[in-house]
Amino acid sequence: MTLTFRHYFLLALMTFTLALSGRMSLPPLDRDEPRYMEASEQMLLSGNYVDVRFQDKPRYLQPAGIYWLESSVAATAQKIFGPSVLRKTWPYRVPSLIAASLAVPLTAWIGSVLFNGLTGLCAAGLLMVSTLFVAESRMATIDTVLLLDILTVQAALLRAFRDRESDRTTSIQTALLYWAACGVGLMLKGPVVLIPAFGTPLTFWLSERAIKSDNARTGLFKRMRPAWGWLLMLAVVIPWCVAIQVVSHGQFFSKAVGHNFLGKIGHGQESHGLFPGYHLLVFAIAFWPGSFFAALALPAIWKNRLTPQVRFLLSWIVPHWLVFELIATKLPHYVLPTYPAIAILTAAALVFWPQITVGRLGKYLLGFYGTVWGILGIAFCLAGSVLVFTLEHRVIAQELIALGGSLPLMVLAIWFIFKKARRNALICVMGAAILTHAGLFLAVIPNLQTIRLAPRVAELFQAVQPCADSTLISTSYSEPSLVFLAGPNTQLLGAAPAAQYLSGHKECSLVLVDRKDEAAFRKALEQTGTELTEYGRIKGLNYSNGHHLDLGLFAPR
């Protein structure tokens, strides 16, 4: 089977359509996403496209590339829909949507080149429905865009790999694509892109030396014209680097590289310090529903480990995975760039290689992993209905429809696995995943009012604000989503500073206080002689820290 432009277009369209579900009704997801959104909006409003800021604080975590993309889309949306669109979430999520829609067909192309068209299609499907990819493709964060950039780097290396196998000279255009993608990756996430960009050809070369291949002397990296290519990479990023160095007086590089990048290696940041093996452990959830099929593929991958195609994919996976298993700070999305390669190997074991019989120990291990996978699958199908009933004490018909479709498919997939009909099982479980995601994003999340604190507070604040540009002062709820929805003037202060600020800005300010902090706030306010009028209360759960809040919105009188 040969894939044509029509296949790639339909894959992109399918990914785009599936990723649209619930996108506009999904609130900003604390804590990272609203920080990206707010910083991008402030970049647009201030016209300062060099110095990234969240409110009045510099956001020196990574270069400005993702903020340029998000603010550009927001600027276009503003021209079409007016200024109010800047308070909406969807414009800032467009880069992730486009990146996801391109990453899936690009995965299919790589799989079809290395194996065949059916392998490419299967790999694209595995990536498209995987839990982590589905989540990241809906958020205005950097990870889906970075995934597309790394896929582009790997596509260029694959062209060099094919040229080498056919004894052809790699074109300058391929080298230009490779180095330009490296430069864009530096603008997105700094040196992270160099791990797969340099690690893949290095590991591939070492593997050839290990098996004493005749092609070991003609490495992939040498085909990329490194003598001058690195100049193109630096040309992409150097202008902004010089500008931010001047504007920040050197603070950007000391914080972004010294603290954020290098600091993650030695110790866990923001309570994300976890043990080596963490990414392997969460793989069952993050790559679901493909995780069990990836485990089933291991014997075939091992048997074919010396073939050039498998060594290329393993050279893509291994250095990236090892780096992020060894550093102290760990988050699931750190290994997302390896998922296309894992999907391709998994697909090859399903449709390209014959099934391999494993020994007794292998059967026990796969049986245990399959049991975990099956439990997770059933839990995913039930999760939406359970969440709505637990948090809102209600039943939603749309979610029951999704459950009614996904749960039988999940059970059928388990039955097919027992019958050793792996392809049929994959088709069923992919259908279950699509229905589950649709139910979650279209029916469940929009109706979880208990955890939608920031949207509800912002709605009340905008309904009663005394001025067009009023300020919300929050003493008890300080999530970034509140800043994005209520505006960059939002003040996140303790009880005493909030009372002081309110007394000096009575005309256009309202204050948000949790009931447990209200006594301390009123005591601090007594010293200023200011009295309060309550406009309403919002009760709910702050899912970022698990605290139940009873927030009152007050205005001075």
pLDDT tens figures, 272-329: 557 789 999 999 999 999 999 999 999 999 999 999 999 999 999 999 999 999 998 8
By the 10 Å C-beta count (0-12 exposed, 13-18 middle, 19+ buried), 246 is classed as exposed
- Rounded to whole angstroms, the Cα distance separating 312 from 259 reads 33
pLDDT single digits (tens) 368-396 = 999 999 999 999 999 999 999 999 999 99
- Cα separations (Å) of 262 from 237, 244, 329, 338, 474? 19, 19, 10, 21, 34
- Rounded to whole angstroms, the Cα distance separating 309 from 300 reads 13
Which DSSP helix (H) or strand (E) runs through 532? Answer: strand 532-542
DSSP bridge pairs for 554: 511, 534
Rounded to 5 degrees, φ, ψ at 533 are: -120, 130
- Rounded to whole angstroms, the Cα distance separating 191 from 237 reads 11
State residue 540's pLDDT score: 95
Q: How far is CA 464 from the centre of its chain?
A: 35
Give the 3-state secondary structure of residue 165: helix
Q: How far is CA 129 from the centre of its chain?
A: 14
State residue 160's pLDDT score: 96
Give the 3-state secondary structure of residue 183: helix
134-137 LR contacts (CB < 8 Å, sep 24+): 134/18, 134/19, 134/433, 134/437, 136/96, 136/100, 136/333, 136/336, 137/15, 137/19, 137/96, 137/97, 137/99, 137/100
State residue 260's pLDDT score: 63
State residue 328's pLDDT score: 84
State residue 271's pLDDT score: 47
Which DSSP helix (H) or strand (E) runs through 383? Answer: helix 360-392
- Cα separations (Å) of 135 from 273, 285, 327, 334, 444? 22, 12, 23, 14, 15
Which conformational region is residue 22 in: left (phi greater than 0), alpha (psi within -120 to 50 degrees), or beta? Answer: left
State residue 394's pLDDT score: 92
Q: Are 154 and 198 in contact (CB under 8 A)?
A: no
Give the residues of the chain that fall short of pLDDT 70.
213-218, 258-273
Q: Are 92 and 325 in contact (CB under 8 A)?
A: no
**Number of Cβ atoms within 10 Å of the Cβ of 242:** 11
**Domain residue ranges in the chain:** 5-351, 360-447, 450-556
Q: Which fold has domain 450-556?
A: D-Maltodextrin-Binding Protein; domain 2 (3.40.190)
Residues 6+ apart with CB under 8 A from 299: 356, 358, 362
* Beta strands 532-542 and 491-492, pairing class: unpaired
- Rounded to whole angstroms, the Cα distance separating 314 from 207 reads 10
Say which residue the tokens 């995965």 belong to: 107
**Type of residue numbered 152:** T
**Helices and strands in the chain: count of H runs, count of E runs:** 23, 7
Q: Are 290 and 123 in contact (CB under 8 A)?
A: no
Give the 3-state secondary structure of residue 537: strand
**Number of Cβ atoms within 10 Å of the Cβ of 319:** 20
Q: Are 336 and 316 in contact (CB under 8 A)?
A: no
401 closest CA partner among 377, 375, 435: 435
Q: Are 334 and 279 in contact (CB under 8 A)?
A: yes
State residue 274's pLDDT score: 72
**Number of Cβ atoms within 10 Å of the Cβ of 431:** 19
